Amino acid sequence: MKSTLKVSLGLATGLAASTAMTGVSQAEDLTLCWAAWDPANALVELSKDFTAQTGIGMKFEFVPWTNYADRFLNELNSKGKLCDLIIGDSQWIGGSAENGHYVKLNDFFDKEGIKMSDFVDATVVGYSQWPKNTPNYWSLPAFGDVVGWTYRKDWFAKPELQAAFKEKYGRDLAVPATFAELKDIAEFFQGREVDGKKVYGASIYTERGSEGVTMGVMDVLYSFGFKYENPDKPYEMEGFVNSEKSVKGLEFYKALYDCCTPPGASNSYMGEGIDSFKSGQVALHMNFAFTWPGLQKDEMVGGEKVGFFANPAGPDGEKLAQLGGQGISVVSYSDKQDAALQYIKWFATADVQKKWWSLGGFSCLKAVVEDPGFAASQPYAQTFLDSMAIVKDFWAEPSYASLLQASQKRFHDYVVAGQGTAKEALDGLVKDWTEVFEDDGKM
């Protein structure tokens, strides 16, 4: 889930709002809508093969993350014809299915022999299904993403820091196995001098305006035992959202923010996190996996200086992580649905998915990620696999925007502004979410 934010990896993210592949009849062009970021550049390159094979030209409408949700949800809600294909956020699937924005793909998948069992299970549930956990498909998994961690591997290896850490904590300075160990590491580095520069413990999500603090808090709360609802009674949230385990998780997140973040971290999300890591400010960096290729290549902090790890365990040994990523859908208002379905068929093939990964896209096809050589194909590939195996997602309900606004306010008020207690914040969230579902007639 990534909906309204600005990301800059310092690579080639500056795509024009609309990019066309020339040399093909404009009448046959398809327009694909997505966010303006590095993976979109890779998709432009990849799609040249589609044009070469089919003669169908591709145009791209890429909008910065700050405007992505507003721009394209308005387009869908107005039944606009700009987008023939859209790579929509995972949270849009419920509303887009129920409001008729996306073409249902079941018959097409059956006809073409495209099997959802060939894709990573969590991405099928997260990006394609509505209702969840039913065989109703509205998109093809396009870009797998998940919240994980980067760390300063070179700092961890310094003998003097190793010795100081072991003296204080009685264990080696290494990738944390638990969130408690992660906090120890963040506290150890907070305010410490490394290579003649004052550094800080961790960059975590705190942003208020879109979805940032929710993505960060939920990424931690899952491993502490948070549940959105009673597994046996949908939309019953009392005692689950605000359970004792959930309260401890939220208290932990605030404690991590209070003890161990760099100055000016009260409104930080993906772009700010990237900046804090690339500038050498922090030892630990929470962010979505899409950032990893750029950080690995970074001249200042990449290469042998950077390491990657999946979310550590919570107090009871549970390990879960916040799902990101998107699926690709055919827009129901398009006049070129047949050609758009050709693109879906092409994109689903193993050879295309392998190239997608090689170009910087995060494939969701099992034939790619389960290949024996995948884990060694990039320094972060194994962490990607480990992280995608433990994903959980925010509500994908048609009213997700209202649900998100409530969590953004409750979490930011408590974690950053220090208002009230964790229990009060979660009790308030149960109240807010209950009102949303009552208005929707689901309670």
Give me the DSSP letters along 171-229: S-S-S-SBHHHHHHHHHHHTT-EETTEE-EEEE-----SSSHHHHHHHHHHHHHT--SS
Whether residue 208 is predicted with pLDDT greater than 60 in this model: the reply is: yes
* CATH code linked to domain 147-322: 3.40.190.10
If you average pLDDT over every residue of the chain, what do you get? 93
How many residues comprise the chain? 443
Token pair 């509505």 is at which residue? 130
- Dump pLDDT digits (tens) for 357-376: 999 999 999 999 999 999 99
* 3-class state of residue 49 by DSSP: helix
Whether residue 10 is predicted with pLDDT greater than 70 in this model: the reply is: no
- Show Cβ contacts of residue 146 under 8 Å, excluding neighbours closer than 6 positions: 288, 289, 321, 322, 323, 324, 325, 384, 387, 388, 391
Whether residue 385 is predicted with pLDDT greater than 50 in this model: the reply is: yes
Q: What is the model's pLDDT at position 2? A: 61
Q: Which residue in 13, 97, 21 sits closest to 54, CA to CA?
A: 21
CA 396/CA 399 separation, integer angstroms? 8
Q: What is the model's pLDDT at position 65? A: 85
Let me know if the fold of 18-145+324-392 is the same as that of 147-322: yes
Q: Is the pTM of this model over 0.75?
A: yes
Q: What is the model's pLDDT at position 103? A: 98
Whether residue 339 is predicted with pLDDT greater than 60 in this model: the reply is: yes
- Dump pLDDT digits (tens) for 219-269: 999 999 999 999 999 999 999 999 999 999 999 999 999 999 999 999 999
Q: What is the model's pLDDT at position 1? A: 62
Structure tokens at 168: 């204080």
* CATH code linked to domain 18-145+324-392: 3.40.190.10
- Show Cβ contacts of residue 308 under 8 Å, excluding neighbours closer than 6 positions: 148, 149, 150, 151, 292, 379, 380, 383
Identify whether the C-beta of residue 45 lies closer than 8 Å to the C-beta of residue 359.
yes
Q: Which residue in 146, 176, 190, 149 sits closest to 307, CA to CA?
A: 149
| Spans of all domains in the chain | 18-145+324-392, 147-322
* pLDDT band at residue 7 under the 50/70/90 scheme: very low
CA 409/CA 125 separation, integer angstroms? 27
Whether residue 19 is predicted with pLDDT greater than 90 in this model: the reply is: no
Whether residue 18 is predicted with pLDDT greater than 50 in this model: the reply is: no
Q: What is the model's pLDDT at position 28? A: 76
* pLDDT band at residue 4 under the 50/70/90 scheme: very low
Whether residue 280 is predicted with pLDDT greater than 90 in this model: the reply is: yes
- Dump pLDDT digits (tens) for 30-56: 999 999 998 999 999 999 999 999 999
Helix residue ranges, H only, 298-349? 337-347
CA 116/CA 159 separation, integer angstroms? 49
Q: How many helices (H) and strands (E) does the chain have?
A: 18, 12
CA 43/CA 206 separation, integer angstroms? 30
